[in-house]
Structure 1
C-alpha cells in the first residue's frame, strides 16, 4: 500500500486548534501553518481569546500564512460565534460548522473526521484534481465531487480516502507535472502519460518523506 499512514498533516491537540489551523491553511502549505501555530495556540487557547484578540497582534502572528488580514477577521469572528452560539466549544455537526465564519464544507469535513471521528470527504485542490484525472467525476464543483465520490466508497472509508488522495497529490500526482513514470498507480490510471513516463525523470518529481518507499513500490512491481 502506498500510504498506509496517511493523515492530516496539520498539528493540533484540540478541535479548536484544528479548526484554526485549517482556516490558516487556505492558500498556504501545512508546513508553514505548523510553523506559525505553536505561538498562536499558546497566545489564544480559547474561542474567547480569539474573540477578544487585538487585531494587529493577531495579524502579525499569522502573517506568514498569507492573506493574514482576511484570516484574522475570520478568526476573530469565529471566536465570537463559538462563544455566542456554542459556549466556546467547536460543534460536532456539519450543519453547525458551516454556519461559522470562515468555515466551508472542506474545513468542516476535516474537523469532523479528525476531531470527532465523523467520516467526511475533504475536497481540496489535490482531491479535486486527482478524482477528475481518475475519472471518478467530471465535475469541478466541490460539493458535486464530494457527493459523487462518496457514492463510490463506503462511508466509513471517506476520511482515510481523503488523506490518501491528498497525500498522492502532494507527493506524486502534481498539478503541472505529475510523476507518471514513478507512480505506483500508473497501471490503473486513465490519465497516465500527462507527465513524464520515463522512470528516472519522473522519480525526480516525487516528494515527501515516503519518497524512497514509493519508488520501491514502482521498481519492485
Structure 2
C-alpha cells in the first residue's frame, strides 16, 4: 500500500464478515483516507482476514475479556489514539458504545444503519419494514452520538420494497448500496466536506436541512 501523509488516518471497527470494510479498502487508492487500523471485538472473523490481506494493521479486543463496557471502550480509545487515528468508521460493529467513547470521537465517527432513520433503529430493520408494509426501505449514514442510531443523518439511499421481497432480498439490495455509499461518505469526512457542528450536519459549509439523497449525490459527483 502506498503511504500518503496527506490522507486522513482512519480506523474501521468490525464484528464479523467485513463486507463494508472491503468496500472501504477497495475505494482507498483514490480516497482521502487511509485505513491504519481495523479493530474487531470478536476473534477469527472474516473482516480481520480482509484487512490483513490488504496489509492493514489489525487488533482483536475481545469484549468478553473486559469486566465492563467502560473498560473495553477505554482499551479501544487507547489503541486508536496510539495510532493517531483521526476518524472512526463503524462497519457492522455490534457493540453499544459508551458516552465516553462517543464523546472522544464526536464529529469524527460514522455509522451505517440499514433503515431510513429515524425509522427502525436497532435490529431486525428489514423485517420491521416488511411488517409495516413499507413501499420504500433503505440505509442511513450518520454521525455517531451517545444516542443509539440517533446521530444526525448525512446521507440516505433508498430501495423499493416489492411484493415478492423478503428479509434476505432486502438485505441484498441494501448491501449493494452500502458498498457504494459508505466509501463516498467516509471520503467526505476525510476531506472535510462533511462536518458536525452543534449536532447538525454541514456539507460544503452549508447546513443540511435534510439528508443527502444518494442518487442525487452520484449525479453531482459525475
Same structural fold, with TM-score higher than 0.5 when normalized by the shorter chain: no
Structure showing greater relative contact order (alpha-carbon pairs closer than 8 Å, 6 or more residues apart) = 2
Higher helix share: 1
Indicate the structure (1 or 2) with the bigger Cα radius of gyration: 1
Higher strand share: 2
